[in-house]
Every structure is written in C-alpha cells, then in structure tokens.
C-alpha cells in the first residue's frame, strides 16, 4: 500500500477521517464526508494551473461555462482548486509537488487525467484524493496558509455550489455566487 511524504498509508488516512459537519447554506445540512463522497467515481478530465498558481482539477462530464466571456470553453462538473496551499501528487513512478516548476509539474500531473476518483477524504486538515493504483493527490495546509485567511481548497460542485475548507477548521458549503463569510 502506498504512503505519502508523511509516511501515512492511504488506508490509515482514510481510517482517521472524521465526519465533520459543514455549516449549512440555504438549508443544506451535509457532512464533509457526504460532499466529498459525490466526487468519488468521477473521472479527472483536466489538470491545469490557473491565476495565482492555483492548481485546478476538473472532474466528471465537461460542460460549457455559464459566462459569455468563456463562450466555447468547457469545465468539469466538479472543480477542485488548491487556493495556493501546498500539495503533492503520487504516481506509480514519482512524486510531483507544489515546489516544482509549474510547467514541469503540470506536464507530470497529466498522468491523473482519465483516472477515476476512488476515495476522497479529509484527515487532520489534509485532503486526500485517491485515484487507485498508487495515484493520489494530497492538499496539505501549513501554518502559513492559516495566516493568509484564504481557504486551503475549494470544491465547486454541480448546481452552482462550492465547498470551502480553511483556514483552520472553518468550512462552508454555499451557493458559488455568494461571497464567503
């Protein structure tokens, strides 16, 4: 069984996962586990860096953007952004990290495209997205990330909703067109 840089096995990370409650938005009362469970079995369709060096993963069916300026462009039904938080990804042959050159890292991360999410869990503020067969993504916040005041990561879900996690244990699940509180 594979391990990450901290020496935790994928299974051990999954076993340590706690069921954290999400602050409801517009009557929703979902746990973090329920939100992340929706990501399971979705295929990674695109991996790219966006403005500010955020790493962005698109999952599920590719659909058109709602914005006229992005007419003709496609996005995943589910989008995971790192929000500048440190990350690492494991493939069977290597580790790719946020410390590497962006172009080189983006090229190496293409190994995740076409792979199905088999597990999505949070453990000790770390997000684990496993793609099976020794492919995984870890988003690992630091104390510096906490000082920024920005979320560690955001998961845009279908139906115009976004789950934000961080800083600290702050979390919210809200309409994606509503600013974070």
| Residue 83 forms part of a structural domain | yes
In this structure, how many other beta carbons lie within 10 angstroms of the beta carbon of residue 181? 9
| Residue 16 forms part of a structural domain | yes
| Residue 39 forms part of a structural domain | yes
pLDDT the model gives residue 28: 54
Q: Please check whether residue 84 is in contact with residue 148, taking contact to mean a CB–CB distance below 8 angstroms.
A: yes
| Residue 1 forms part of a structural domain | no
pLDDT the model gives residue 162: 92
Residue range(s) defining the domain that contains residue 33: 10-175
pLDDT over 50 at 4, yes or no: no
| Residue 181 forms part of a structural domain | no
Q: In the chain, how many domains are there?
A: 1
> Higher pLDDT residue, 153 or 7?
153
pLDDT over 50 at 33, yes or no: yes
pLDDT over 50 at 45, yes or no: yes
pLDDT the model gives residue 3: 47
Beta bridge partners of 129: 120, 137
Q: Which of 92-106, 125-139, 165-179 has the lowest mean pLDDT?
A: 165-179
Write the burial class of residue 173 (CB in 10 Å: 0-12 exposed, 13-18 middle, 19+ buried).
buried
Report in angstroms the alpha-carbon separations of 119 from 4, 54, 67, 76, 133. Answer: 15, 22, 31, 18, 12
pLDDT category of residue 18 using cuts at 50, 70 and 90: very low
Give dist(CA 72, CA 44) in Å, integer.
20
The pTM is what?
A: 0.82
Report in angstroms the alpha-carbon separations of 179 from 53, 75, 109, 171, 173. Answer: 21, 21, 30, 13, 11
pLDDT the model gives residue 115: 97
Report, as an integer, the average pLDDT of 57-64. 95
pLDDT the model gives residue 25: 45
Q: Which of 28-37, 56-65, 83-92 has the lowest mean pLDDT?
A: 28-37
Residue pLDDT, tens place only, 109-154? 999 999 999 999 998 889 999 998 899 999 999 888 888 889 999 9
pLDDT the model gives residue 52: 81
| Residue 15 forms part of a structural domain | yes
| Residue 144 forms part of a structural domain | yes
Give dist(CA 112, CA 10) in Å, integer.
17
pLDDT over 80 at 22, yes or no: no
In this structure, how many other beta carbons lie within 10 angstroms of the beta carbon of residue 81? 20
Share the mean pLDDT of the chain.
83
| Residue 115 forms part of a structural domain | yes
């Amino acid at each position: 069984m594979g391990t990450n840089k901290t020496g935790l096995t994928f299974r051990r990370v999954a076993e340590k996962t706690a069921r954290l409650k999400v602050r409801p938005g517009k009557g929703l009362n979902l746990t973090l586990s329920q939100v992340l469970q929706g990501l399971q079995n979705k295929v990674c369709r695109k991996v790219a860096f966006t403005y500010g060096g955020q790493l962005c993963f698109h999952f599920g069916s590719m659909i058109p953007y709602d914005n006229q300026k992005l007419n003709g462009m496609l996005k995943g039904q589910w989008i995971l952004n790192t929000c500048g938080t440190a990350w690492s990804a494991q493939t069977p042959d290597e580790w790719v990290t946020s410390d590497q050159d962006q172009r080189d890292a983006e090229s190496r991360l293409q190994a995740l495209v076409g792979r199905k999410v088999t597990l999505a869990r949070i453990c000790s503020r770390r997000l684990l997205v496993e793609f099976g067969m020794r492919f995984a993504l870890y988003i690992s916040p630091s104390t510096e990330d906490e000082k920024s005041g920005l979320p560690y990561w955001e998961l845009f879900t279908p139906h115009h909703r976004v789950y934000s996690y961080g800083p600290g244990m702050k979390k919210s699940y809200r309409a994606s067109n509503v600013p974070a509180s």
